[in-house]
Chain A
Amino acid sequence: MARTFSVRTQPGFTFIAMLCFFLLYLPIATLVVYAFNSGQSVAIWEGFSFRWFESAWNNRAVQEASIRSIFIATFAAIVATFVATMAALATTRTAPYPGLTFKYAFINQPLMVPEIVTAVALLIVFSRIKVWTGYSGIAYLLAAHTAFCIPFAYLPIRARLENMDLTLERAAADLYATPWNAFKRVTLPLLWPGIIAGFMLAFVISLDDVVITEFVKSGGQETLPTYMLGQLRRIVTPEINAIATVFLLISVAFVTMFFIINRKKP
């Protein structure tokens, strides 16, 4: 009997696969290991210690950057999720019309335009606004993060709406539910997993952002990623490994939760 083609039986498959895994995970593993180094070096192992975690925890600059990062990510994710939910409802609960595909593309623009382009564009626009208004607060970062978080929140919410059985909403209407009641009692409860998934994805994306933040931020507005980038230009200690390790844990936790919630069938 003829066997179906399987890439796994091709020569070199195992080697290439292993190489990819090593390239992906070995540096991360090294980074995590050296976070526990008791010495000053990120390359020479001197013994096990939590000192760099302690040092990072007590570092005021790290504290401020962390709080700023979490504040921006929370704000951006909430607003982006709200906007994305509205956008997803508007683009799925409608008869197809010319221009709908264009609208998808429009909403998803941040996924397609290179981040550096958006960053430079925002820098130019915001610097003009700064000159006119004299305001140089955190609102620029909030606005920028909210904007690029929208497609990440939008995609899981829209996917959930598209997979939802439309007859459920019809059944609600048939049973005397006004459009608002049908939304509140049927659509929204079934949409929640998508909304939460969208929120978490947006949160992680905002938390992780370097490029746009680096361009848009004013003085004294370091987020955790930009702080880390700044540190790398100076003396590198395993403190940076410790911060990265904690960061990694938070991201992995969020993304895992995203997958678990998103997997639940509508």
Chain B
Amino acid sequence: MAIGKAAIEAVGVTKIFQSSGQDSLKALDNVSVTIGENEFFTLLGPSGCGKTTLLRLIAGFDFPTDGQILLHGQDIAQLPPFQRPVNTVFQNYALFPHMTVGQNIGFGLEMQGKPKAQVEARVAEMLRLVQMEELKNRRTSQISGGQQQRVALARALAPEPKVLLLDEPLSALDYKLRKEMQIELKRLQNETGITFIFVTHDQEEALTMSDRIAVISKGKILQVGSPRDIYDRPAVRFVANFIGETNFLEGKVVSTAKGQAKIALDAGTTIAASLGEGAKPSGKVTVVVRPEHASVVASSGKATLLGKLENIVYFGTDTHYHVKLNGGGEFTVRHQNVHAGALAFEKGDKVGVLFGADAARVLRD
């Protein structure tokens, strides 16, 4: 997806937390990323990777040790939070317990000094947007978790921020409600046209909702791209491993041509693979193949790799074949169960694994 005008740009942002002892923690390490206007952008990574720190720096709850944070080209890194046209949906919602639903939603506008009538009108509009008109005068303690989530969203959207920050807002909801809210969030983003920056550790959430995803680990952005980019074309081992299941094959580059490479695998076979973004065209490399991008075939026919079928696991919608490769290593293949019928292979069979050069990708590391 092409990035339009930049809403938020992080330029060489580093954040070091100085603890009381001599040890300090580098939460963000020279991070640069551009987030477009009207984009649903997700920061994805395991807990403690720095994604929430980046969000807090954009919100203004913390200040970078080094680097700039630009909002529409202006550096806001040193502004206090109340001077930034950026609002946050907190993980625990942080609704004001001494105010009603309506007062919560109107708080931001009131603090901006908007006239009462305008605040009232906007609160009514926001309540309609999140379908909660009848709960305006309830206390926040008298509504359900899903409703609190909607109030938190309405409260953050009411002042029409340039950017909405969402800090794992769905993690406290149960599975069904989470699915509903994922759709709701996408709808709200389409209707308001506001840039959403969404923090999550849930890869599925990231893949289904985002326009683009930045995968973060240990304070560094490893890859930025569309969900399809990230899933189909992981650039590094961490991304391939963190998102979905993957087969890793180790080998050496024999030759390269037109973005493709011949790789001599440690297991003995030579395969064709495409070179990932920034992949080195020589020496020892790792190749990844998604289980659903390969198929199990008869060992007598055309096969990329040969092995023995060790295990078959039936999952309803699809079946996983675990193949022990000749020359060492394991390989998992996922077949979708298209129609009922006898399985073509049985445990213990000698089989082949087939995949093309476009399914095998050479990683950067």
Interface positions of A (Cβ within 8 A of B): 96, 165, 167-168, 170-179, 181-182, 185-186, 189-190, 266
8 A-B contact pairs sorted by A residue (CB < 8 Å): A170-B81, A171-B96, A173-B81, A174-B59, A174-B82, A175-B159, A189-B98, A266-B97
Q: Cβ of A176 and Cβ of B112 under 8 Å apart?
A: yes
Distance (Å) between the CB of B21 and the closest chain A CB? 12
* CB of B111 closer than 8 Å to a CB of A: yes
* CB of B350 closer than 8 Å to a CB of A: no
Choose the segment among B85-93, B190-198, B229-237, B355-363 that binds chain A (4+ C-beta atoms closer than 8 Å).
Answer: B85-93
A172 to B107, CA, bound (A): 8
Interface string of B95-109 (1 = CB under 8 A from A): 111100000000110
Interface positions of B (Cβ within 8 A of A): 20, 59-61, 80-82, 86-88, 90, 92, 94-98, 107-108, 111-112, 155-156, 159
Query: Given that A96-B20, A186-B96, A190-B98 are known contacts, is A171 also in contact with B88, CB under 8 Å in the complex?
Result: yes
A178 to B156, CA, bound (A): 17
Closest chain A residue, CB of each to CB of B155: A175
Closest chain A residue, CB of each to CB of B107: A175
Mostly helix, strand, loop or mixed at chain B's interface?
loop
Contact of B108 among A165, A170, A175, A190 (CB under 8 A): A175
A175 to B20, CA, bound (A): 31
The interface residues of chain B lying within 8 Å CB-to-CB of A165 are 92, 94
The interface residues of chain A lying within 8 Å CB-to-CB of B94 are 165, 167-168, 170-171
The interface residues of chain A lying within 8 Å CB-to-CB of B95 are 171
The interface residues of chain B lying within 8 Å CB-to-CB of A178 are 82, 111
Q: Cβ of B98 and Cβ of A176 under 8 Å apart?
A: no
Query: Given that A176-B159, A181-B111 are known contacts, is A171 also in contact with B90, CB under 8 Å in the complex?
Result: yes
The interface residues of chain B lying within 8 Å CB-to-CB of A175 are 82, 87, 107-108, 111, 155-156, 159
A174 to B94, CA, bound (A): 11
Distance (Å) between the CB of B169 and the closest chain A CB? 13
A167 to B59, CA, bound (A): 13
Mostly helix, strand, loop or mixed at chain A's interface?
helix
The interface residues of chain B lying within 8 Å CB-to-CB of A176 are 82, 108, 111-112, 159
Closest chain B residue, CB of each to CB of A168: B94
A182 to B94, CA, bound (A): 13
Query: Given that A96-B20, A175-B87 are known contacts, is A168 also in contact with B96, CB under 8 Å in the complex?
Result: yes
A148 to B112, CA, bound (A): 43
Q: Cβ of B98 and Cβ of A173 under 8 Å apart?
A: no
Q: Cβ of A177 and Cβ of B111 under 8 Å apart?
A: yes
The interface residues of chain A lying within 8 Å CB-to-CB of B61 are 170, 173-174
A186 to B82, CA, bound (A): 14
Contact of A177 among B82, B87, B90, B92 (CB under 8 A): B82
Distance (Å) between the CB of B97 and the closest chain A CB? 7
Q: Cβ of B96 and Cβ of A174 under 8 Å apart?
A: no
A171 to B158, CA, bound (A): 14
A179 to B80, CA, bound (A): 10
Excluding A171-B90, A174-B61, A176-B82, 20 further A-B contacts by CB distance (< 8 Å) are A168-B94, A168-B96, A171-B94, A171-B95, A172-B111, A173-B81, A174-B81, A174-B87, A175-B87, A175-B108, A176-B108, A176-B159, A177-B82, A179-B82, A182-B82, A185-B107, A185-B111, A186-B96, A190-B98, A266-B97
Q: Cβ of B87 and Cβ of A167 under 8 Å apart?
A: no
Q: Cβ of A173 and Cβ of B82 under 8 Å apart?
A: yes
The interface residues of chain A lying within 8 Å CB-to-CB of B98 are 189-190
A189 to B98, CA, bound (A): 7
Closest chain A residue, CB of each to CB of B20: A96
A175 to B112, CA, bound (A): 8
The interface residues of chain B lying within 8 Å CB-to-CB of A189 are 98
Contact of B80 among A96, A167, A173, A181 (CB under 8 A): A173
The 8 A-B residue pairs with the shortest CB-CB distance in the complex, in nearest-first order: A175-B108, A171-B94, A176-B111, A167-B94, A173-B81, A177-B111, A189-B98, A174-B88
Interface centre among B20, B59, B96, B112 (most CB of A within 10 A): B96
The interface residues of chain B lying within 8 Å CB-to-CB of A266 are 97
Distance (Å) between the CB of B69 and the closest chain A CB? 15
Distance (Å) between the CB of B300 and the closest chain A CB? 64
The interface residues of chain A lying within 8 Å CB-to-CB of B90 are 167, 170-171
Closest chain A residue, CB of each to CB of B59: A174
